[in-house]
Structure 1
Amino acid sequence: MLTGRFLYDPVGPFHRWSETPEDVREYWWKLFGDKVTWDPRDHGHIKKTFQTRGAKRLSDMLSKVRTKGTRPHWICEEAWKGLIDHWEGEAFKKISTQNKTNRASGKGGAARELGRPVDPDELFLATHKKKSGTWVDNRSQTTY
């Protein structure tokens, strides 16, 4: 449901959901609410889902635009310049390089360490218990 028109009409540039001003996100929520109806009892769940998917959608759209390197019709000239400045900045490049390194490393570490495939119970414990041995949350303990 989030399209270019939603994201850059009437304002911009926004590099990520969390840096988008609250009033702009509320404006997008209102546009969404004008097009879609739901049971009022589901309002909280719908809004949370809208925010989660909106963040992912914005990230995906901007990633594609950045890769392509040309301004799409739905981003105004001023917003495009702001995005280019952000992408060419040292802070963005540093984070991008770190993320690239992280994605390229660390796969299969547990299997190499143990010398065998990891079973699902071991994986769950490794990802849901703190180093101190306590559970990360009550739900994890209940699930196990």
Structure 2
Amino acid sequence: MLHHTIPHHLISLQQLDLRQQPDLRQQLDLRQQLQQSRFYPSKQPTHKIRDIIRSKFDAPYVSWKKVPKEVREMWFREFEKEFCWLPQHNDKIRKNFEKRGSTRMRDMFTDIRKHGKRPLWIGEDIWAELNTAWGSEEYIRRRDQNRQNRASDVGGLGSSLHTGGSVPYTEHMCRLKETLGREPTPVELNSRTHKRQEDQQWIDERARKAHEKYTRLRETHVVAGEGSSGGSVEFSEYRIWSQAVGGKQHGRVYGLAQQISALQAELEQVRKSKADWQAQLQAQVQMQMLMQEQQNQLLDEMRRMREQMSGKETAPAEEESTNSE
């Protein structure tokens, strides 16, 4: 089975003291984990990032990339006031903060432009400058290009939509895992995030076509007897799904980004464990060889000592025999 959790713990400082109380530890375990490129559970850290953006938005930043590096650094310092983590997780936490911040700001601005009303956390002067930027030819051109890219027909599967809302894919995966009692397959996750709850109809043609093609390919693989061993079934599911959706497009596999990352992480962990085991075995062999060499040296030394002692005992006896003659 694949395990999607990488234990980079992110702990709320508000709950830090509670962890020292055994009777409350189970009830108030608010540990956060980093799952590949997402916080899980995501609500508390992403809400904190949203609050930081709102409280520190003091210039017309049209996107996360337009926020100066020193400002993002200051925002991250604010994030550190709310959470703590082990030093070895700094790089991953910071990288995830940047990614979540970019996504959060984009979604916030999308909602703002949709309603066309200035929120209280944006000053009037900044609001005017933002509207000027959003109305510029360059911004409109980039926006239309991004829309076209999202609506492009990739591999004959049509445009890509989903019904997951703001809930991260990792959250859907964990919910499905609890329901199924095992890791969800790509096709199960695709159905969860691309079917309407009210009528179970596909949200777009791409999801429907991907499901149908996957089903046909899987039947072909089953008939051929592939993936029959327990250890390879799950990997076969990922491989078939990747084949059904046309493999990687722009460096990603449709509907499989998080799973592929988890699979790669697990394979890397397996390789690392194997390397560690080999290194440990080699060290043990070397230690045994060294001990054997030391033992041989000790035996040689004892043999020389016996020979020397035997020689000393023989010499007086020969001398006594000579004198008697």
1:56 equivalenced with 2:152 (yes/no): no
* TM-score calculated relative to the size of structure 2: 0.35
Equivalent residue, structure 1, for 2:213: 117
From the two aligned structures, give the one with the greater strand fraction: 2
Give the letter aligned to residue 107 of structure 2. D
Cα distance change of structure 1 residues 101 and 110 upon mapping to structure 2, 3 Å threshold: closer
SS across alignment from 1:99: helix
Alignment of 1:1-144 (within 5 A): 1-7=48-54, 9=56, 11-106=58-153, 109=156, 117=213, 119-123=240-244, 126-127=247-248
Give the letter aligned to residue 120 of structure 1. W
Distance apart, 1:10 and its partner CA: 5.4
Structure 1 unaligned spans of 5+:
131-138
Report the number of matched residues.
Answer: 130
Distance apart, 1:122 and its partner CA: 2.2
Cα distance change of structure 1 residues 121 and 2 upon mapping to structure 2, 3 Å threshold: closer
For the Cα contact (< 8 Å) 1:8–1:75, is it kept in 2? no
Q: Which shows bigger deviation, 47-56 or 100-109?
A: 100-109
Distance apart, 1:51 and its partner CA: 0.6
For the Cα contact (< 8 Å) 2:57–2:122, is it kept in 1? no
Structure 2 unaligned spans of 5+:
1-47, 159-211, 215-239, 252-263, 269-325
For the Cα contact (< 8 Å) 2:64–2:102, is it kept in 1? yes
For the Cα contact (< 8 Å) 1:65–1:72, is it kept in 2? yes
Higher relative contact order (CA 8 A, sep 6+): 1
For the Cα contact (< 8 Å) 2:60–2:129, is it kept in 1? yes
Q: Which shows bigger deviation, 81-90 or 100-109?
A: 100-109
CA distance in 2, matches of 1:123, 1:74: 46
For the Cα contact (< 8 Å) 1:16–1:58, is it kept in 2? yes
Cα distance change of structure 1 residues 32 and 120 upon mapping to structure 2, 3 Å threshold: same
* TM-score calculated relative to the size of structure 1: 0.74
The sequence identity of aligned pairs, in percent, is: 29
